[in-house]
Structure 1
Amino acid sequence: MKRKPAVVLLSTLVALTMVLSACGGNSNKGTNATSTPNSSTSTNGNNDNSSETPAKPTEITIMLPLNVAETPPDTIKNEVEKLTNTKLTYQFFPADTYEEKLNASFATGSLPQVVYLKNQATFMQMKEAIRDGQFWEIGPYLEEFPNLNKLKPEILNNTKVDGKLYSLYIGRPLARQGIIYRKDWADNLGLEAPKTVDDLYEMIEKFTKADPDGNNVDDTIGLADRNDLVYGAFKTVASWFGTPTNWGEKDGQLLPEFMFEEYVQAMDYIKKIRDNGLMNVDFAGTSKTDQVALFTSGKAGVYIGSMQDINSLDKDLVKNVPDANASVHALVEGPGGNVSTWAIPGYNNVVLFPKTAIKDEAELKSVLAYFDAMMTPEVANMMYWGIEGVHYTVEDGKAKASDDKELTEREVKGFRDSVIGEPETNGQLEAYIDLEARKLAEQFVVDNEKVAIHDPTAALDSATFAEKGTQLQELINDATYKYMYGSIDRAGFDAAIEDWKSRGGQQIIDEFNAAK
């Protein structure tokens, strides 16, 4: 099959993947990882010299993105090896350059047996290589593994390619987005948590103009935002206006979110906030670090994003403004009185198994056995929370993180991001929460799921989207920022959509509709 250039590059890179030596020149084919340490066991109870030979540890090499500053030490890895009878080699690479390293690994033939992707977009780009047979189909084997078989079918379905399962997933709550705001400012101004988008605008306006901190100085803004149209404010605001999640259906046809009127209404809303100086007007050039600093320094009063960020935001805010009090809110009504929010497909990332690194079915099963063991409470807790008594304690049946956040960040965080499944399926402890605002946030996460808008294309495939989707999305992102900045009007935005369609967007529309 003749492929388009970007897909040719990806598939060519995949085809050059290495023959891994991690199962070693000493292959451990057929050796299952277990959930208990390696030990000798007497066979007859008479203490004679007859005993089973300890199973040789399964050697597995794993490549994954690193979301902390430094590669973690082997503290957690060593404990996991004991629990699973494995010898693990982790290849950590910084998240911000991970895709580059992933491609380089393809090109140089250095992919290991286990490859974590960076995010959902990377997974979409990998689908053509999956179709080319470069990765193992694992669906037929899951029923052999009691813990892997607990993974949620609806989420597994969202990761299938042409109806076949090639990946395991790292689970995430479906809808964590909402408002984090200065409740003390709201109390000072007689404002309640915003029930509607109009209430939210009023809060943002008064946080800017009504001297919410009472210092008689014009030194506050309502909203702090950043250069991220997904995890910043825009996508969440757009979902409150009723914009579909990525794609939606209109007149029986699937269309991208930016072709819906609600998307334009959301742009108008953010544009009005910016035009009136109620936010950091340079938000398209603002990093998350700077956005957070605006809130925690006491400059800004509203942060729209993951409500679970309340812990760190509140902690750092109180350091700078001891009398401050932050809270959270969600379930904001749009102009028509409806409540909705956007949702992810239930996973944050996936893991794949290259055929060039895993030579046969026996070796694949030995690797899958390790992931089956990972989905036991003992191993999942070790990888997610760390060592009990060091990185966390158990209180009221939940994991209470150690006060030594730096130790946990250094030793545990790198492994936490690789845990398969979610607490409902792997048995890991839920977090112990003592911050009232975080408790409220967790309840809103549950409530958000009831009104979440799901992406109808999550389980659909488009070859053109896999090849050009990311590049074409940049065109729309640029037009969205320009519209909100006032650089282009509605006609200019519509022209950008036509440009998107002419460069391959219409083909994406056609392919998704053919696949539904």
Structure 2
Amino acid sequence: MKKRFVPVIASVLLASQFLLAACSNDKEKVDGEEKDKEKTAAYDPNSHLEVSWMAMLHTPTAPTDVVLDKIEEKTNATITFNWVPDASKEERVTSALASGELADIVSLTMLTNSSVRTSLKSGMFWEVGEYLDDYENLKLISEDVRTAASIEGKLYGVPYQKNLARSGLVIRQDWLDKLGLPVPETLDDLYEVARAFTEDDPDGNGKDDTVGFGDRSDLRYSSFKLLSSYFGAPNGWKVEDDGSFISEVETQEYKDAMDFSRDMYKNGYLAQDFAVTAKTDQQNQFAQGKTGIYTGIVDIKNLKDLAKGLQDDMDLVPVNKIKSPDGDYHVWSENSGVGGLLAFPKSEVKTEAELKRVLQFVNDLIDKEVYMLMTGGIEGVHYELEASGAIKILDTDTWKNDVQPFSSQRPSEVTHSLVDADPKKQLANEQISENSDFAVLDPTVPLDSATANERGTELQKILTDATIKYIMGDIDEKDFEAEVKKWREAGGDQMAKEYAEAYKKSQK
């Protein structure tokens, strides 16, 4: 019995295993078919969308719901914003990426941040390159922008389209007039303006209480990055004729810019507290009449608004062209016209159909009506159009509360051309467009480096700290070179090698 029982049991077991295997295969087949159906499922672009959005907040407070309600109406969506203050974005975003606590849409504005690049390459976010041409507005994104926003040829989100180079100076025109100085055209002119604004009592109050250059601790968006480009320094990295890469800090032009800033700091023409000053403090110092030169022509209108009631007679002039020692004009480009990515985590946007609906939402944000809501607000409430087509803000405080935070969330700043009713702001806009003619691009933007992905932020801090210390006179040239050597040995040389290899591949 036992001899016959064992084979029967074995047969039953074999049969069971066969049935289980068959069921398993059938289940896998069904699951696979379901996944295929999910992936290829048609989406309804007219369906109501509930979407969450982790967005960067560049204003002191989040916006009211006045304009948000209109945006939701036009896009057929209910939008839940998770606002991240710009000042703490690096900490908050990297923490969210590490924890996986994300929204349906994540604004990633720090594409050179090692944690961000690593997360994008990890497969955490949808690759969207193949979908853009299916949408009326997204298909207009140029190939150059798509390339610049990609990592190893893969596009992990919809690029924020920005002007190629938005940097420049805002200078107190009324102070220039009082001191009999022309608008600076060369670096020597600019130095003289900084000196005069510090030493020659430009506000006429008889006190030694003004400084030429206001500044802040963010080296990239402070005066130094702009000055280094005026001196002709490369933007981050330089590609040599043989295809090798060298860092900007290893060029004479970068060192000349450091010496220029060091001399201004030593003489008090550059704000002495710049290393611990935040952007909002820098803006307030300018608005209060404590400084006379501000870096960032995009802020010219905001600076004038901040000065109301404090410096009502303030007159400003935007300056985008300062001649370099080589006789030409140069200005650094912010990520080759890419302000970041609107990225879609697979953990939140789970199917292709959901992705397509969210992409439709982003596409709709670029429609002229929605763009105007995010730029000017509601016509008749926040702005009116003048006969010239210029936008005139009716009440600045109301616009700031209801509209301003949305302006930095626009997926594109280049799709629609608007005229500003403020002539100085309009001039600044025209100068920003003109910057494209002599913008200096960062050649590493579309390239990838494993070392940069893993430790780029940490390594950059070595160079940033060394540059600031040199400007402040805390270290000398020998000490600075020692820090550069430390950076090279810690991974700088490896980054240069990896960028060169990636560049070589991209040229094939």
User: Does the Cα contact within 8 Å between 2:108 and 2:116 map onto a contact in 1?
Assistant: no
1:156 maps to which of 146, 166, 171:
146
**Which of 107, 113, 118 is equivalent to 1:128?**
118
Change over 3 Å in CA distance of 1:129–1:228 after alignment to 2: closer
Whether the aligned pair in 2 keeps the contact of 1:80 and 1:379 (CA below 8 Å) is yes
Does the 8 Å CA contact 1:143/1:149 hold for their aligned counterparts? yes
Corresponding residue number in structure 1 for 2:410: 419
Structure-1 separation of matches of 2:106 and 2:462: 30
1:382 to 2:373 alignment: yes
Mark the CA change 1:213 to 1:483 in structure 2 (over 3 Å): closer, same or farther. Answer: same
Give, as a single letter, the amino acid of the residue that structure 1 aligns with 2:340: N
Matched, 1:503 2:493: no
Structure 1 window deviating more from structure 2 (246-255 vs 150-159): it is 246-255
1:55-109 Cα shifts (integer Å, max 9, x gaps): x413322222233333333333332332223333333333333444444444554
How far residue 116 of structure 1 moved from its aligned partner, in angstroms, is 1.5
**Which protein shows a greater Rg?**
2
Check 1:185–1:466 CA distance in 2 against 1; reply closer, same or farther (3 A cut): same
Q: Which residue of 2 aligns with 1:292?
A: 283
Q: Secondary structure of 1:414's match? A: helix
Report the counterpart of residue 488 of structure 1 in structure 2.
475
Specify which of 445, 461, 466 is matched with residue 474 of structure 1.
461
Match of 1:430 in 2: 418
| Structure 2 alignment gaps of length 5 or more | 1-38, 504-508
Query: Which residue type is aligned with residue 45 of structure 2?
Result: A
CA distance in 2, matches of 1:212, 1:112: 50
Corresponding residue for residue 439 of structure 2: 452
Specify the SS of the correspondent of 1:139: coil
- Residue type matched to 2:386 in 1? E
Out of 137, 141, 144, which is 2:131 matched to?
141
Task: Work out whether residues 419 and 426 of structure 2, in 8 Å CA contact, stay in contact via their aligned partners in 1.
Answer: no
- Give the alignment's TM-score, normalised by structure 2: 0.85
Decide whether the 8 Å contact of 1:223 with 1:301 is kept in 2.
yes
Pair 1:442-2:429 in alignment: yes
Per the normalisation by structure 1, the TM-score is 0.83
Structure 1: distance between partners of 2:255 and 2:191: 17
Taking the aligned partners of 1:207 and 1:421, their CA distance within structure 2 comes to 37
- Equivalent of residue 175 in structure 1, options 151, 160, 165: 165
The question of whether the paired residues in 2 share the 8 Å contact of 1:33 and 1:86 is answered with: no
**Secondary structure of 1:181's match?**
strand
Deviations 1:447-467 (A, max 9, x none): 221111111111001111011
Task: Evaluate the alpha carbon distance shift between residue 480 and residue 107 of structure 1 in structure 2; reply closer, same or farther with a 3 A threshold.
Answer: closer
Q: Distance in 2 between matches of 1:317 and 1:77?
A: 28
CA distance 1:443–1:103, change in 2 (3 Å): closer
Q: How many angstroms does 1:196 deviate by?
A: 0.7
Letter in 1 for 2:52: T
Taking the aligned partners of 1:138 and 1:382, their CA distance within structure 2 comes to 26
Is residue 73 of structure 2 the alignment partner of residue 97 of structure 1? no
Letter in 2 for 1:511: E
Give the 3 Å change call, closer, same or farther, for CA 488–398 of structure 1 in structure 2.
same
- Deviation of 1:348 after TM superposition, in Å, equals 1.7
Distance 1:31 1:506, change over 3 A: same
Q: Secondary structure at the match of 1:332?
A: coil
Compared with structure 1, are the counterparts of its residues 93 and 310 closer, same or farther at alpha carbon in structure 2 (3 Å cutoff)? Answer: closer
Mapped pair 1:33 → 2:33: no
Amino acid corresponding to residue 418 of structure 2 in structure 1: E
- Write the distance in 1 (CA, Å) between the matches of 2:501 and 2:380: 55
Residue 257 (structure 2) aligned to one of 266, 276, 299: 266
Q: C-alpha separation between the residues in 1 aligned to 2:299 and 2:226? A: 15
3-state secondary structure, aligned to 2:45: coil
Residues 1:513 and 2:500 aligned together: yes
Stretches of structure 1 that go unaligned for 5 or more consecutive residues are 1-26, 35-55
Shift in CA distance, 86/323, structure 1 to aligned 2, threshold 3 Å = closer
Q: Tell me which of 222, 246, 256 is aligned to 1:255.
A: 246
The answer for the alignment partner of 1:279 in structure 2 is: 270
- From the superposition, tell whether residues 392 and 399 of structure 1 become closer, same or farther in structure 2 (CA, over 3 Å): farther
Matched residues in 2 for 1:101 and 1:299: separation?
A: 32
For residues 486 and 200 of structure 1, what CA distance do their matches in structure 2 show? 21
* Stretch of structure 1 that moved more, 498-507 or 359-368: 359-368
- What is the RMSD computed on CA atoms of the aligned residues? 2.4
CA distance in 1, matches of 2:410, 2:431: 24
Aligned to 1:50: none
Cα 1:88–1:289 change in 2 (3 A) is closer
CA distance in 2, matches of 1:337, 1:354: 47
Q: Quick check: which one's helix share is greater?
A: 2
When structure 1 is superposed on structure 2, of 190-199 and 358-367 the one drifting more is: 358-367
Deviations 1:227-279 (A, max 9, x none): 12111110111101001111112453211111111111000001111112223
The answer on whether the counterparts of 2:376 and 2:393 sit within 8 Å (CA) in structure 1 is no
Give, in whole Å, the separation in 2 of the partners of 1:324 and 1:112: 43
Identical amino acids, percent of aligned pairs:
35
Alignment check: 8 A CA contact 1:392 1:399 kept:
no
